[in-house]
Structure 1
Amino acid sequence: MLEGLEISEIMFSELDHIKNRIDAEYYQKNFLEIDSKIKAIGETNLIKIEASLDCSAFYPSITEYYDFLGNGVPFLRVNEIKNGLVKLTESTAFLPQEILDRNTSTIAVGYPGDLIIAKGGNTLAKVGLITEQHQKYALSRDLILIRTNNLKEYNRYFLWLFLHSEYGQSLLWRTASQTGQPHLTLPSINEINLPKFDLTFEELAEKLYKRSIYLNDESKRVYREAEHLLLKELNLEKFKPSQEPVNVKSFADSFGTTGRLDAEYYQVKYEDYLKQVEDYTEGNDLISSLCHVKTDNYLPTDNTEYKYIELSNIGTSGEITGSTIDFGENLPSRARRLVSKGDVIVSSIEGSLDSCALVSDEYNGALCSTGFYVLNSKKINSQSMLVLMKSELMQNILKQRCSGTILTAINKDEFLNISIPIVSPSIQEKIAELVNENFEFKTQSEHLLEVAKRAVELAIEEDEQTALNWITEQTKA
């Protein structure tokens, strides 16, 4: 009669009287097993290790003060949590310091090394480590802050890895309040059982994290080197476009030729950028001549699983940071571009024009949004095309060609009729080496974080020695 049902028998004395939970979901077998494993290792909690919890209260509307050019203090929302880390993007809002000064009791502020956790919704329990990219960060109401600057006999990076691990995530979900929409509360998080390992083992997590950050910084360095190499080749190192606000054009030289009447299109600076392309010694040509641009729609099969890439999945150095994995029947109607390894995808949407990426082997056969142009060329290698499209030169030319009212974007004809420099083969080869090195450093960086997280899980499942052996095996040169 009860076949297929999961049943847990709990003594009344063993019920969680602190949280007053008697719902069956709280006592699922997998939750009880995790608790049992942690108790066997040795347990503690945030209160005992002297962590401090905080969150923003109901502050007044501040959207009018948002700055998306990086001026002020980063304002963290759930979208800034990516793969366990706080990562700022073009869509990250910044706030003036004076707004924080006026709302000291309602807007919480976090610092590097602190942790943030998503309170609720479909991102509930998402954990992010605040990095050293900025000195401080303001928090939205959707986040809970764990201050880690005064932890007692517990490593902040180990705490982060545990909460980000399979077991930490399970316990965070377990403690979510079931009143209305599930959400996390400060008292329930304070009482979560944390495993207590030897401090030497915990500090190993910090070493792996810092090595990962070093490799990530190296990836950024070599990408900047590739950018500089291109700028030097195109004679753009000291180039400064005109700031002249007025440009007088005849009808024949304006609307009669371009079909455009908007003043923005005729800014003198755009003419300066176009002249740089025309004057390049190795020559230039139209995208339509140099590249194969995939514009045909691909209709996904309903019962086939695909990786779907959209604008939010594009990293700042031209990498694809993730994708939605789902069956064709569940994908949005804009998931219609089939990409292959070596393709370069370029955003057509103004405001996201620098969302360009090189398709790696991992995303061969994936789908991307129709908001991207997908291109490859026999004359310009993919790595050089990526750096070129993300360069100041091409970003301005792309911006000039945008048109529209509600959604400003580059239409197909405008995109195909853009001239780009045919970068010399020797420079292309050097750029390719640097971009490949950038991706390799980034892959190693991400691998170390996964190794560290899995090591925490192995230490809970088996023991510290098994976890140490795993780290040694996975970090061999």
Structure 2
Amino acid sequence: MSGLECSEIYFNNIHDNLFRLEAEYYKKIYLSIEKKLANYNELGMYVNSINCGPFGSSLLDDKYEINGVLVVRPFNLKQLTIENENLVYISEETLHDNNLKKYGRNTVLFSRVGDIKIGVSNRDNITISPNIIAVSLKNEFLAKYVAVFFYTKYGFLQIKRQLKISAQPTISTNVIEKLKIPFFDKLVDRIISKLDITENLMQQANKAYLKAEQLLVKELNIKIENNSNINIKSFNNSFSNSGRLDAEYYLAKYEALQKNIYKYPKKGNICSIITLQDKNITPKDNKKYKYIELANIDNIGNIIDCTEDFGVNLPTRARRIVHTGDVIVSSIEGSLNKCALITEEFDGAFCSTGFFVIKSGIFTSETLLVLFKSEILQNLMKKGCSGTILTAISKEEFEKICIPILNDNIQQKITCYIKQSKLLYNQSKLLLEAAKKSVEIAIEQNEDIALNYLQEQSDNILNNN
């Protein structure tokens, strides 16, 4: 029995739990949490409605609009809210024609399929995809606390236990309704106020990043024009030179971008000024690593989470090791904007082979991040993409892109803005973690100890500037 786990369950208790017979359902950690939460009420006691997105929805991407009613999908749920990128909208007419429900602010959202994700609607006009469950609370003020609780071990593991796994892990509205949740009068109010601070910190982090981006745009003074989709090339100036026959490769806007970069005082091809680390390294089977993939990166270059597991369990694409100061740049078309700066927290982590891992003695890491996330570099990388099933930019195409070499003064200003953004983001992240931990302390010890912990951690985090 060494290394094995055994739990003894009465038949009557199996019946009470919807006749779940799989051994994983009765892991000791799940039974311990069930016992710990036994005296608390079910979430269903506090809700007006729990609705799943429309099954068999005929909503297709040709119905998406530039604006209108936001359609929330599971991957839009990040950092307890709805992200500001990868968003799609539909018209009120399409909403009505497809009999879709509309939801407002402070609706708690759960992913129904795949990875467990929870968030709170920060918008007044949304609907949900078939893979989202929407919970409308009787008291909307409690929404942020509910989301925080279900990211603690006591909430998250309840959901994980109830997942039904066939092709993909799924949960149902009945499961959500029966999840246990504790409420602590003073702590709930304190956590909600701290979450308001985390939101404000994230807004400031985004503004600092935007300032760096605007500084780069002003310095380069290069406009992207989409005036014409027609560009006539001779054989010698096209396939004979590039080996590419796809028409998009020769779009006039790409040509104009390249000409403008050539006019910049200093420039160079990536291969001559940036070090590309593309050696594949196999993780050791019995060692635990952090693993970063595309979904772990937010819209301003932060790594918001990662997978932690033993090397033997990591996917075969986990072959690139990263270190503090490296910048990772996605090579996959459709996700080219997934770029991130590696901080000390992720030193020695592995990332997907879908990333280029770069560094340079000419650029600061912060400048590289902003440069490769800029619309100019994003367009030139998109130009280089090729393939059928999975379109991506190859190493050869990537290395021959010509990029501007910014002077030290501009780079230092960009670096200052990005460091400020990272500090604010980190404060927001740590404060959220403190809020989660305080709920766990309240369950395990008492509310007063939890309140003291939250206040002490909050003071330490916010004074770290």
TM-score, length of structure 2 as denominator length:
0.86
- The residue matched to 1:458 in structure 2 has which SS? helix
SS in 1 for 2:312: helix
Residues 44 and 194 in structure 1, CA contact (< 8 A), matched pair in contact too: yes
Count of aligned residue pairs for this structure pair: 457
The correspondence of residues 18-29 of structure 1 with structure 2, limited to 5 A, is: none
Distance 1:471 1:425 in 2: 42
Matched, 1:118 2:111: yes
Shift of 1:137: 2.6
- Secondary structure at the counterpart of residue 299 of structure 2: coil
1:474 matched to 2:464? The reply is no
Tell me if the contact between 2:110 and 2:119 (Cα under 8 Å) persists in the aligned partners. no
Does residue 135 of structure 1 match 2:127? no
Q: Would you say 1:373 and 2:366 are equivalent positions?
A: no
SS of equivalent to 2:268:
strand
Inter-partner Cα distance in structure 2 for 1:319 and 1:304: 25
Q: Aligned partners of 1:257 and 1:176: how far apart in 2? A: 54
Cα separation, 1, equivalents of 2:410 and 2:79: 34
The reply on whether 1:263 has 2:247 as its aligned counterpart is yes
Question: Which of 207, 211, 217 is 1:221 aligned to?
Answer: 207
Does structure 1 retain, via aligned residues, the 8 Å contact 2:239–2:245?
A: yes
| CA deviation profile, 1:376-415 (whole Å, cap 9, x unmatched) | 1111111101101111111111122223333332222221
Alignment correspondent of 1:300: 283
- Which AA in structure 2 matches 1:78? P
Alignment-derived partner of residue 272 in structure 1: 256
- The answer to whether residue 96 in structure 2 is matched with residue 101 in structure 1 is yes
Quick check: 1:161–1:453 contact (8 Å CA) kept in 2? yes
SS at match of 1:232: helix
Aligned amino acid, residue 96 of structure 2: D
**1:399-418 map, 5 Å:** 399-418=382-401
Alpha-carbon distance change, 442 to 370 in structure 1, aligned in 2, over 3 angstroms = same
The secondary structure found in structure 2 opposite 1:222 is: helix
C-alpha deviation, 1:246, in angstroms: 2.5
- Say if 2:74 and 2:117, in contact at 8 Å, map to a contact too: no
Identity %: 36
C-alpha contact (below 8 Å) 1:46/1:192 kept by paired residues: yes
1:354 corresponds to which letter in structure 2? N
Shift of residue 85 of structure 1?
A: 3.6
Output the CA distance in 2 between the equivalents of 1:253 and 1:181.
49
Question: Between Structure 1 and Structure 2, whose CA radius of gyration is higher?
Answer: 1
Q: Which amino acid aligns with 2:420?
A: E
CA distance in 2, matches of 1:30, 1:234: 56
CA distance in 1, matches of 2:29, 2:285: 34
User: Superposed, which structure 2 residues align to 1:445-456 within 5 Å?
Assistant: 445-456=428-439
Structure 1, unaligned stretches of length 5 or more?
A: none
Q: Which amino acid aligns with 1:201?
A: L
Q: Given the alignment, which residue of 321, 327, 343 partners 1:338?
A: 321
Identify if the C-alpha distance between structure 1 residues 178 and 472 changes in structure 2 by more than 3 Å, giving closer, same or farther. Answer: same
Q: Distance in 2 between matches of 1:183 and 1:256?
A: 52
Residue number in structure 1 paired with 2:149? 162
Cα distance change on mapping 1:366 and 1:185 into 2, 3 Å = closer
Paired residue secondary structure (1:297): coil
Question: Which ranges of structure 2 fall in alignment gaps of 5 or more residues?
Answer: none
SS of 2:356's partner is strand
Q: Is 1:61 paired with 2:58?
A: yes
1:232 aligns with 2:232: no
SS at match of 2:386: coil
Measured in 2, the distance between the counterparts of 1:365 and 1:65 equals: 43
Partner amino acid, structure 2, of 1:143: I
Distance in 2 of aligned mates of 1:174 and 1:333:
27
Give the drift of 1:29: 7.1
Which residue in 2 is equivalent to 1:395?
A: 378
State the partner residue of 2:71: 75
Structure 1 counterpart of 2:385, one-letter code:
C
The one of 203, 225, 238 aligned to 1:241: 225
CA contact (8 A) 1:242 1:272 kept: no
Instruction: Give the residue type in structure 1 aligned to 2:251.
Output: Q
Per-residue deviation at 1:59? 3.6
Matched, 1:49 2:35: no
